[in-house]
Structure 1
Amino acid sequence: MGLLTWVIIGVLVGIAMNRLRPASGGGFAVAQLLAVTGALIGGYVCAVFNIGTLATLEPTSLLAALAGSLLFLFVFRKLRMS
């Protein structure tokens, strides 16, 4: 259940980021892919350090998935601008 939740968080963050600041060039699909990837990486990092697991919905792992998604999108957009 946790993996699906991380993917849903990534999709929601991708939609929100695209609404707030539309991506130039890559578009909606790239934003979604990056957000989902970031959420999966953030959730996986939590699972590795025993902060949260894939089996349960723990707030810390959900926050890490959200942070990973936002960070991944932010870094990609900053690197793309320069």
Structure 2
Amino acid sequence: MGIIAWIILGLIAGWLAHKIMHGAGAGLVMNLVLGIVGAFVGGFLVRILGGAGVTGFNIWSLIVATLGAVVVLWLFNKLSSRRSASL
């Protein structure tokens, strides 16, 4: 899968994760960026667990990328709230 397809899939996954997490995070643009990272993380995690990971521009890949984006967004929220609590 080409880099442009990864970015598009990540943007869609970031938007879906933003909706799933009820707008949590640092705003829509940052959530979209985290979605791109989440697409890579989701594909990596599913491959470690023995699954197919991100296989192309299809529904399975969108699900995997969205799950990765939710995980990355959740981690981002936990780390950023911990930082602001210590200030």
Gaps of 5+ in 1: none
Kindly indicate whether residue 6 of structure 2 is the aligned counterpart of residue 21 of structure 1.
Answer: no
2:72 alignment partner AA: F
1:38 alignment partner AA: G
TM score, norm. by length of structure 1: 0.61
Residues 62 and 28 (structure 1), Cα distance of their counterparts in 2 relative to 1, 3 Å cut: closer
TM score, norm. by length of structure 2: 0.58
1:27 alignment partner AA: G
Paired with 2:59 and 2:50, the residues of 1 have a C-alpha distance of 11
Paired residue total: 78
Equivalent residue number for residue 75 of structure 1: 75
Equivalent residue number for residue 85 of structure 2: none
Percent sequence identity is: 26
Within-5 A mapping of 1:7-18: 7-16=7-16, 17=18
Contact 2:40 2:65 in 1 (8 A): yes
